[in-house]
A and B are shown apart, each in its own frame.
Chain A
């Protein structure tokens, strides 16, 4: 028995060491950093321990802007992308011809590099000069509108591009998961419902939705977490100086605090990271509580 127990630990050891070194230790380290006030990277010294870093970060207009951007991004992209993905998946599962082709098309963005895609979006939406106008602005002008600078223009226009891009990028994965999940609902359930005179809408609400609820739930949770961690998308469209363009995200703020010009503040970065961690944890807990009621396994 004792031998078996130690054997068990032995088998766990590789995983425990890796997890400890690369996950638990940095987590604790970040946590400690975030409470060390006036930490100097060069001398590795600090003046005190307290909530100073947090209060600085929470008063920093750049952070507040990043927080606002992230929250808007999350609130718009998660419901929209999941909803649209559900519609597309339902459409895909109801057609027979060309289904494979459409599935492949919808999946293409997933295998493309995000930075390259961001560049394409920038070109689509840009308006650098009158001579060099992007495709979208061409369309707007063709319908008699005035071109909008989506990349360097008003806040809502930039936010629109960012949300549009994010939804477009996360969609393929969601469509993939949902189509396979919808396909796994047995025909017999629908046939049984049909013989009993069930309307299409009721079939969707009472059969399809409950049966795919585990996948939906998975997509919503990972969608929230992914959107809160958005960063590279914004960089690929608006360039690396996100504070200047007002399009920074929380993760972008953390990065800037560490590495950008005027960076080198691991304490502030850690505090921001901990704040993000708390927000994500709270949202995920709320999701889990809600799911208890609505997810059927």
Chain B
């Protein structure tokens, strides 16, 4: 089912009683989530991701705006009638019930003509358990399971009632690094198999980029960009999106635009047709540097880190906003580096220019 947010705002009364006023967790959100996709809701801690998820689930009511599931306005529909499956960050499995009892818990809530027979419920639970591969754990208690297994049980419990939308709150944050990699593929597989519109919240951009069909980048309650991961990476709307996505992070330099050229210090690194701007922030992805002799961008060489497949060249430049910056170079492109300087050409599609004050994209 597609989901539409229309001017959604959620404000909390401020905790600071002296100051008063309110804290706006979600500010004037409008976007549309297409049916049957895996969507990553991405942003730094405290940016309103979880609030957005709770607004979707109906656990919280928006201060303003409407939410539509398909064509239906669900803004005033209480959580229990929305038919969403929600997986909590800490899973919230009932510790006193077995895995089977946990999974059938949502089914037992049905009343009247929707009421199911015990065998039907067990059958549905077994089917879902098979989907998330926990069939052999059905009669254990949650505390006898590993974190990854608990996660699967939580997903099964959310899926068993065949929700129209599946919501996952930081699904991978409680898992160790290796399990995280495995589980994110699991989530992708389960989503593809069930075709249920899935929205998951994360602060880890790598997680979001790797499995999402669409990512929504948020900060301070505001949506900064929506798009396919590669698209957002290659074409960030603003400085925040550019810096938030990508590991290692994008390199920032102070620069200017003069005579149709982008300058970092005295180096003209890029031609442009934009009018002169005296102060800009030039952002260059680490993979946007090509070391050449007599390149357009010359820097002091600090050191070289060899990773096997690629090589990191750590260099300094007086206009860099950090003490040093990192260029990732494929090993076959590496020229011999000796002496104290290195010079690069930059790949134009890996360079973005922003207004340093507003963060708006210029080039």
Contact partner, A192, options B58, B92, B108, B110, Cβ 8 Å = B92
Binding site for A on B (CB under 8 A): 57-59, 79-82, 84-86, 88, 90, 92, 94-97, 105-106, 108-110, 157, 161
CA A197 to CA B183, docked complex, whole Å: 27
CA A206 to CA B96, docked complex, whole Å: 9
Q: Are A188 and B80 in contact (CB under 8 A)?
A: no
A288 interfacial by beta-carbon distance below 8 Å: no
Given contacts A195-B84, A196-B157, A196-B161, 16 further A-B contacts (CB under 8 A): A191-B88, A191-B92, A195-B57, A195-B58, A195-B82, A195-B86, A196-B80, A196-B105, A196-B106, A197-B81, A197-B106, A197-B109, A198-B109, A199-B109, A206-B94, A206-B97
- Contacts A188-B92, A198-B80, A207-B94: A193 and B105 contacting too (C-beta < 8 A)? yes
Q: How far does the Cβ of B54 sit from chain A's closest Cβ, in whole Å?
A: 8
When distances are taken between beta carbons in the complex, the residues of chain A under 8 Å from B106 are 196-198
Q: How far does the Cβ of B20 sit from chain A's closest Cβ, in whole Å?
A: 19
A-B interface contact total, Cβ < 8 Å: 57
- Contacts A199-B109, A202-B109: A194 and B80 contacting too (C-beta < 8 A)? yes
Q: Are A191 and B59 in contact (CB under 8 A)?
A: yes
A211 interfacial by beta-carbon distance below 8 Å: yes
Residue of A nearest to B96 (CB): A296
Q: How far does the Cβ of A193 sit from chain B's closest Cβ, in whole Å?
A: 7
Contact partner, A188, options B57, B81, B88, Cβ 8 Å = B88
Contact partner, A211, options B85, B96, B157, Cβ 8 Å = B96
Binding site for B on A (CB under 8 A): 186, 188-189, 191-199, 202, 206-207, 210-211, 296
Tell me what chain A mostly uses at the interface: helix, strand, loop, or mixed: helix
CA A2 to CA B332, docked complex, whole Å: 69
Residue of B nearest to A190 (CB): B92
Can you name 12 A-B pairs with beta carbons within 8 Å? A186-B92, A191-B86, A191-B92, A192-B157, A195-B58, A198-B109, A199-B109, A206-B94, A207-B94, A210-B96, A296-B95, A296-B96
CA A188 to CA B150, docked complex, whole Å: 15
CA A103 to CA B223, docked complex, whole Å: 44
Q: Are B161 and A194 in contact (CB under 8 A)?
A: no
Q: Are B96 and A195 in contact (CB under 8 A)?
A: no
Q: How far does the Cβ of B144 sit from chain A's closest Cβ, in whole Å?
A: 13
Q: How far does the Cβ of A203 sit from chain B's closest Cβ, in whole Å?
A: 10
Q: Are A195 and B59 in contact (CB under 8 A)?
A: yes
